[in-house]
Amino acid sequence: SGLLPLVINTWPFRGATVAAWQNLQAGGSALDAVEEGCAWCETNQCDGSVGFGGSPDEYGETTLDSMIMDGNTMKVGAVADLRRIKNAVGVARKVMEHTKHTLLVGESATQFAECMGFPNEELSTNTSRFLHLEWLSHKCQPNFWKNVIPDASKSCGPYKPSRVLKQHLHTSEKINIHSHDTIGMVVIGKTGHIAAGTSTNGAKFKIPGRVGDSPIAGAGSYADSTAGGAAATGDGDIMMRFLPSYQAVEYMRKGDDPTLACRKVISRIQKYYPEFFGAVICANTTGSYGAACNKLPEFSQFHFMIYHPLQSQPIEEK
């Protein structure tokens, strides 16, 4: 390793890697490549956990979280709980480039997106409707559904403090190997410009309004052209407490090689949450890269994609 340009992304989302790479080859910037790569997954619904039609919340709605960061200027644009807009990373980029803000959320983010010309579209599909109905039939029934499903027995909200623990057990299922797969991508351009981004539909059956790690700078991803870039995937509710992407970049800044930086990040989280599901990828300014995950019995290997000039195609590593 140590060659530029470099594209690295979470999970075996080969199409996203190729899209980012081709964008660079066509003269795109590192930011353009990250946007293109993440957008590829939004269009192609990578693993059902990026873009429309996946991870319905308790009410059955799919909502999107995304961010993009420019490591030259340290600007960030992000959207969270974005509704009825498919191209979340595109909107995140507009937040970065057309506002002085960093993060827009919910219906207001939708309104902003519409102003910027993004089409308002239904994000539910037959797949997400099915997932939701199946979940409703044997999990709790949000209050909303009690009118729709007469024999709804168990109810979710309102989430009174005394019920938090119980609620946690039957809703917002723990993110595991079966409900993962955010795309997180780091691109380093030929001249050393580092950009990073993420896109996800978050956690299955989340409480409406839940926002994960992916749209949070330093959590979902981070880029600083003077030190490196990183991105994270996994149980965002846990991971965002540790700003893993920021931490990985800071470890590299002080001289750790990328693999060690990722491992140290994972072990810091492990100390408090030994069973957490998650992984981090990172790359330093020279184009060296690394990754680490929390090795669990049901999740022994984390796969990611790499593309650099010595390869004629993207390579899957673990």
Active site residues: 182
The footprint of ligand SD4 on residues 36-65 (CB under 6 A) is 65
Site string for ligand SD4, 197-226 (x = CB under 6 A): ---x-xx--------xxx------------
Minimum distance from CB of 265 to ligand SD4 (Å)? 14
Minimum distance from CB of 171 to ligand SD4 (Å)? 15
d(C-alpha 117, C-alpha 227), whole Å: 35
Q: Identify which of 50, 285, 303 has the alpha carbon closest to the alpha carbon of residue 182.
A: 50
- Please say whether the beta carbons of 134 and 126 come within 8 A: no
d(C-alpha 172, C-alpha 152), whole Å: 18
Minimum distance from CB of 52 to ligand SD4 (Å)? 15
Q: Is 112 helix (H, G, I), strand (E, B) or coil?
A: helix
User: Applying CB under 6 A, which part among 74-82, 102-110, 134-142, 233-241 lies near ligand SD4?
Assistant: 233-241
Residue with the closest Cβ to ligand SD4? 236
To 5 degrees, how large is the angle CA 153–CA 158–CA 161? 120
Is 236 a binding residue for ligand SD4 by CB under 6 A? The answer is yes
Residue 212 among known ligand-binding residues: yes
User: Applying CB under 6 A, which part among 136-144, 227-235, 258-266, 283-291 lies near ligand SD4?
Assistant: 227-235
- Candidates 53, 90, 234, 314: give the one binding ligand SD4 (CB under 6 A): 234
- The DSSP call for residue 207 is P
Minimum distance from CB of 195 to ligand SD4 (Å)? 19
Residue 89 among known ligand-binding residues: no
Strands 75-83 and 228-234 come out as unpaired
b/e burial code for range 75-86 (CB count within 10 A of at least 16 → b): bbbbbbbbbbbb
Residue closer to ligand SD4 (CB basis): 28 or 244: 244
Cβ contacts of residue 196 below 8 Å, gap of 6+?
34, 68, 69, 71, 184, 185, 186, 187, 221, 222, 223, 229, 230, 231, 245
The footprint of ligand SD4 on residues 260-289 (CB under 6 A) is none
Facing residues of 200 across strands? 65
To 5 degrees, how large is the angle CA 304–CA 37–CA 305? 15
Residue 125 among known ligand-binding residues: no
**What single-letter amino acid sits at 205?**
F
The footprint of ligand SD4 on residues 132-191 (CB under 6 A) is 175, 180-182
- The DSSP call for residue 51 is S
**Residues in binding contact with ligand SD4, number by CB under 6 A:** 15
Minimum distance from CB of 186 to ligand SD4 (Å)? 15
Residue closer to ligand SD4 (CB basis): 188 or 203: 203
Residue closer to ligand SD4 (CB basis): 15 or 192: 15
Binding residues for substrate: 210-213, 233-236
- Residues near ligand SD4 (CB under 6 A): 65, 175, 180-182, 200, 202-203, 212-214, 233-236
Binding-site residue set: 210-213, 233-236
